[in-house]
Amino acid sequence: MSAAVPGSTPLSAARIAAAVRRGERSAVEVVEQHLAVIAEGEPQIHAFNAVMDDQARRAAALVDQRVAAGDDPGPLAGVPLALKDNLCTRGVPTTCSSRILEGWRPPYDATVVTRLVLAGAIPVGKTNLDEFAMGSSTENSAFGPTRNPHDQGRVPGGSSGGSAAAVAAGFAPLALGSDTGGSIRQPAALCGVVGLKPTYGRVSRYGLVAFASSLDQIGPLTSTVADAAVALEVIAGHDPLDSTSVPEPAPRLVSRLDEGVDGLRIGVVTELMGEGIASDVRRRVEAAAEALGAAGAKVDDVSVPAVTYGLSSYYLIAPAEASSNLARYDGVRYGLRVDAPTTAAMNTATRTAGFGDEVKRRIMLGTYALSAGYYDAYYGKAQKVRTLIIRDFATAYESFDLLLAPVSPTTAFPFGAKADPLTMYLSDVCTIPSNLAGDPAVSVPFGAGDDGLPIGVQVLAPALAEATMLRAAIVLEDAMAREVST
Ligand code: GLN
């Protein structure tokens, strides 16, 4: 399907905001155009759980009034914004694509939503996800899957599949996702858009429905690296409402984008380039390494041995934290309630009806890993492995400024292709290590696979080094643009 606003080429968030701020385009017109693209494409793609037409129109009119009054609405003036449906929006249903939250309307906005709206962005809808962000294909949504705009027989990735598809389909130039084990980067790679997971603590998690609190981060999905930089500048920075938020202002990113990679040392992670990674994906990572080398970086292979254990460690820690976080859905405090004669029977009936299979599997796995007699052997050991991963990354960053790796082992796969949970879990083998380490990473579109579908390349950085990471990302974006035009 076409990824364009009818009658024009798709505009980046930066270009929309520039035109709206100068009064050259009205926010109302921008929003109407995007709502028209949504109306045309959404029945096929199903990127949204809800489209917020009326609110979007009203918010756009307010932005236009401010421009007319001589105010500056901010760096995202008039930019349509798609929000993953695990981000709280005041008065607007927030479902996490789960029946258990059906009908729940949060009484407050997530900090990221407040900040984006203050910067002039216009929320246009809540996007589909794997239930409670558990999955890699959006097939675990209680409301049906999202389709990949590049091939509607294939998944968009997950869990932020709706957000990635919304950007790829031209429904919104900017979307937010959450990334606990790869849920921003993997769908971005499969849909051919940019997806950035910031350093843990860089962006406030206040108002993000918790999955695994020591791993969850919110970040942008966009069609350009520059848009990701603008969005991250807006949403980053200390928030007293999140006790894990880094007590620093947002970093300067946009003004540093054109500093280049001359002299940067970039390591290709050998453990993530071997068995299980499709050869077309590996070739694109090698091509990215060459492009960075040609731009002046010193590129070499680097071993980060403990990343091999990332998946095993993550699938104990994440379910353990999820089993605790999801205990709050008891039929009393949120959404669904299935009545039964006793409170315990009501809890069970509600949870049985309200949670899907994958969520139940995670709760059981996590409860088991935390139970007396197994805690040290499973949860405790997984935490020790997590420490090894943190140390191995720290060692690698003594010799390298950035690392390079695949994002997804393959391009987008057909619906139903990974029915076995373990096969699905392998989708995250290259993305999970950065979550365990708490480090930032970005997926940059870098060409196509043998099947013509998008491939993303992952740039990884040490904690708080998003500015350096984005310098490499934009060099790759430029190299790709040249490759396509020659
Ligand atoms: N696919 C991974 C999981 O199912 C990661 C999900 C995420 O990052 N939210 O746990």
What are 48-66's pLDDT values in tens digits?
999 999 999 999 999 999 9
- What whole-number percentage of the chain has pLDDT above 70? 98
CATH architecture designation of domain 13-310+380-485:
Alpha-Beta Complex (3.90)
Dihedral class, residue 192 (left if φ above 0, else alpha if ψ from -120 to 50, else beta): left
The active-site residue out of 137, 183, 223, 245 is 183
pLDDT at 5: 39
Does residue 318's CB lie within 6 angstroms of at least one atom of ligand 1? yes
CA distance 301 to 403: 9
How much is the pTM? 0.97
CA distance 435 to 318: 10
Question: Three-state DSSP class for 280?
Answer: helix
Q: Are 319 and 64 in contact (CB under 8 A)?
A: no
Measured in Å, residue 69 CA sits from the centre of ligand 1 at 45
Burial of 301: CB neighbours in 10 Å, binned 0-12, 13-18, 19+: exposed
Measured in Å, residue 434 CA sits from the centre of ligand 1 at 13
Measured in Å, residue 256 CA sits from the centre of ligand 1 at 31
Average of per-residue pLDDT across 330-339 = 95
CA distance 486 to 80: 32
Closest ligand 1 atom to Cα of 178: 9
Q: Is there a catalytic annotation at residue 98?
A: no
Q: Are 430 and 407 in contact (CB under 8 A)?
A: yes
The active-site residue out of 98, 136, 137, 159 is 159
Does residue 181's CB lie within 6 angstroms of at least one atom of ligand 1? yes
Residue of 98, 428, 458 best suited for mutating to test ligand 1, as the one with most atoms within 8 Å of CB: 428
Q: Are 395 and 305 in contact (CB under 8 A)?
A: no
Q: Is there a catalytic annotation at residue 160?
A: no
Does residue 212's CB lie within 6 angstroms of at least one atom of ligand 1? no
pLDDT at 486: 73
pLDDT above 80: residue 408: yes
pLDDT at 264: 98
Measured in Å, residue 123 CA sits from the centre of ligand 1 at 24
Does residue 135's CB lie within 6 angstroms of at least one atom of ligand 1? yes
pLDDT at 9: 52
Q: Are 41 and 171 in contact (CB under 8 A)?
A: yes
Measured in Å, residue 246 CA sits from the centre of ligand 1 at 23
Measured in Å, residue 237 CA sits from the centre of ligand 1 at 24
Name the band, by pLDDT with cuts 50, 70 and 90, for residue 484: confident
CA distance 32 to 62: 14
Residue of 85, 96, 128, 136 best suited for mutating to test ligand 1, as the one with most atoms within 8 Å of CB: 136
Cα–Cα distance list, 114 to 118, 124, 207 (Å): 6, 14, 10
Does residue 429's CB lie within 6 angstroms of at least one atom of ligand 1? no
Measured in Å, residue 9 CA sits from the centre of ligand 1 at 33
Does residue 179's CB lie within 6 angstroms of at least one atom of ligand 1? yes
Closest ligand 1 atom to Cα of 211: 9
pLDDT above 90: residue 415: yes
Measured in Å, residue 133 CA sits from the centre of ligand 1 at 6
Average of per-residue pLDDT across 180-194 = 98
Does residue 233's CB lie within 6 angstroms of at least one atom of ligand 1? no
Peptide linkage before 434 cis (omega within 30 of 0): no
Measured in Å, residue 46 CA sits from the centre of ligand 1 at 20
Average of per-residue pLDDT across 295-307 = 98
Closest ligand 1 atom to Cα of 212: 9
Does residue 183's CB lie within 6 angstroms of at least one atom of ligand 1? yes
Name the band, by pLDDT with cuts 50, 70 and 90, for residue 485: confident
Q: Are 455 and 282 in contact (CB under 8 A)?
A: no
pLDDT above 60: residue 2: no
pLDDT above 60: residue 6: no
DSSP sequence for 381-436: HHHHHHHHHHHHHHHHHHH-SEEEEESSSSSPPBTTTT-SHHHHHGGGTTTHHHHH
Does residue 159's CB lie within 6 angstroms of at least one atom of ligand 1? yes
The active-site residue out of 84, 126, 197, 418 is 84
Q: CA 203: distance to chain centroid?
A: 13
Measured in Å, residue 294 CA sits from the centre of ligand 1 at 34
CA distance 453 to 156: 11
pLDDT above 80: residue 13: yes
Q: Are 358 and 134 in contact (CB under 8 A)?
A: yes
pLDDT at 483: 87
Kindly report the protein residue whose alpha carbon is nearest to atom 5 of ligand 1.
Answer: 181
Average of per-residue pLDDT across 86-98 = 98
pLDDT at 7: 38
Closest ligand 1 atom to Cα of 179: 8
CA distance 308 to 360: 27
* CA-based nearest residue to 28, from 49, 7, 57, 65: 57
Average of per-residue pLDDT across 2-26 = 78
Cα–Cα distance list, 146 to 127, 142, 415, 433 (Å): 9, 11, 10, 26
Domain boundaries, given as residue ranges, for the chain: 13-310+380-485
Closest ligand 1 atom to Cα of 134: 4
Name the band, by pLDDT with cuts 50, 70 and 90, for residue 374: very high
Does residue 41's CB lie within 6 angstroms of at least one atom of ligand 1? no
Q: Is there a catalytic annotation at residue 8?
A: no
Question: Which tokens sit at 433?
Answer: 């290590």
Closest ligand 1 atom to Cα of 424: 1
Q: Are 473 and 442 in contact (CB under 8 A)?
A: yes
CA distance 444 to 311: 22
* CA-based nearest residue to 454, from 227, 231, 232, 157: 157
Does residue 182's CB lie within 6 angstroms of at least one atom of ligand 1? yes
